[in-house]
Amino acid sequence: MRVLFVDSDPQYINGMAEGLRQVGCDVLVLKTAAEEDLELAYELFRPHVLFTAGWNKIHTRDNLNNLGTFTKRHNLVHVYWATEDPRWTKKWSLPYIETTKPTHVFTIDPGSVSLYRKMGLVSAYITWACNPEYHRPVPPKEEYRCDIAVVATAGVSWRGFRRQSVRTLVKPLVENGYDVKIWGKRWDKLDPHLVGFSVPEKCLCGKLPYEETNAVYSSAKIVLGIQSYTGELTARTFEITAAGGFMLASDTPAIRKIFQPGKHLAVSGSEKETLKIVDYYLKHEAERKKIACRGRRLVTEKFTYRHRAKELLLSGG
């Protein structure tokens, strides 16, 4: 099967695109959705499937129209992976579907599957994973060494569980002066009235290229696994553990469904517990490394994009 994978985000290119290759698909990655580029790719590659995902910089209004026209013109199967569900289903996923007209919609939110099926689309739950060939331990870098690392995008309105997760994991550590480094967008614009705390400027490290995330996870002693929902895991949950990082995550049903606290990672359900756990594992390096090793083994053996690609192909009808 020849898959034209239209995306510019390295998270998807090194994730699902590689998973599809690993299960035997011939994949061409196209980092633009301009009409002339799509047509040239079709002439040279003759794809059977168009694959798109997420919400990124190539998803302009014109490019979405291009994708819809391109799919119709060549009568292609168009698979869309809706990774902005459930929060942005109405504002992003549904308008995207209306414009680009995919035939299949896979989603990271199990609750959205019935919605897409009612629309007459082939749909199934396909969540995040890791690519062991990309998400892997690397030599530590001095500029990323710290006791606690955060790699995350700060919220705009901080609705839902993500705000609670940040309060539980980040707030007590920055307020008590721990060695915390934070990489990601919008942390310099954090509204303390929304999240309940301020982040010292010394903690802010700015945006981090995706290609450098493995180095952060391999250099920090503890990496905080902020979660957006109690019933779903973030992509970074799998990426941190696959890169050999020791993760302290919010204590949620989704975490406990896959990971065993104390064996694969650590979890916290309160600010007080966060401080207690951090103090303990900063003092017990050997135990911390054993747990990180077991976490890495778990996700690289059972939760990879090879597995996700197989699920996708089996669910594709």
Sheet holding 2-6, edge to edge: 26-30, 2-6, 49-53, 77-82, 104-107, 122-125
Give the count of alpha carbons within 13 A of 21, CB side only: 14
Q: Higher-confidence residue: 299 or 192?
A: 299
Domains of the chain: 2-126 (3.40.50.2300), 142-302 (3.40.50.2000)
The whole-number pLDDT of residue 50 equals 98
- How many CB atoms are closer than 10 A to CB 2? 12
Q: Please, are residues 246 and 222 in contact by the beta-carbon 8 Å criterion?
A: yes
- What is the pLDDT, as a whole number, of residue 157? 79
Q: Distance between CA 281 and CA 259 in Å, rounded? A: 18
* pLDDT tens-place string over residues 139-185: 999 999 999 999 999 987 787 899 999 999 999 999 999 999 999 99
Dihedral of the CA atoms 32, 38, 40, 44 (nearest 10)?
100
The predicted pLDDT at position 6 comes to 98
Burial of residue 310 (CB within 10 Å: 0-12, 13-18, 19+) is middle
Q: 130 — phi, psi (to 5°)?
A: -130, 160
pTM of the predicted model over 0.85: yes
Closest by Cα among 139, 102, 143 to 119 = 102
Q: Could you report the per-residue pLDDT of 74-115, keeping only the tens digit for each?
A: 999 999 999 999 999 999 999 999 999 999 999 999 999 999
**Residue whose token pair is 């929060």:** 87
Determine whether 211 is exposed, middle or buried from the number of CB atoms within 10 Å of its CB (0-12, 13-18, 19+): exposed
pLDDT tens, residue by residue, 19-30: 999 999 999 999
pLDDT at 159: 78
Whether 317 has a pLDDT exceeding 70, the answer reads: no
**pLDDT for the residue numbered 147:** 98
Give the percent of the chain with pLDDT over 90. 94
User: 127 pLDDT band (50/70/90 cuts)?
Assistant: very high
pLDDT at 186 over 90: yes
**CA distances in angstroms from 238 to 90, 127, 145, 303, listed in the order given:** 27, 11, 21, 8
Phi-psi category of residue 261: left, alpha or beta, with phi > 0 → left and psi -120 to 50 → alpha = beta
Confidence of residue 298 (pLDDT cuts 50, 70, 90): very high
pLDDT over threshold 90, residue 239: yes
Across the chain, mean pLDDT equals 96
Q: Is residue 11 a contact partner of residue 210, using CB atoms and an 8 Å limit?
A: yes
The pLDDT value recorded for residue 88 is 93
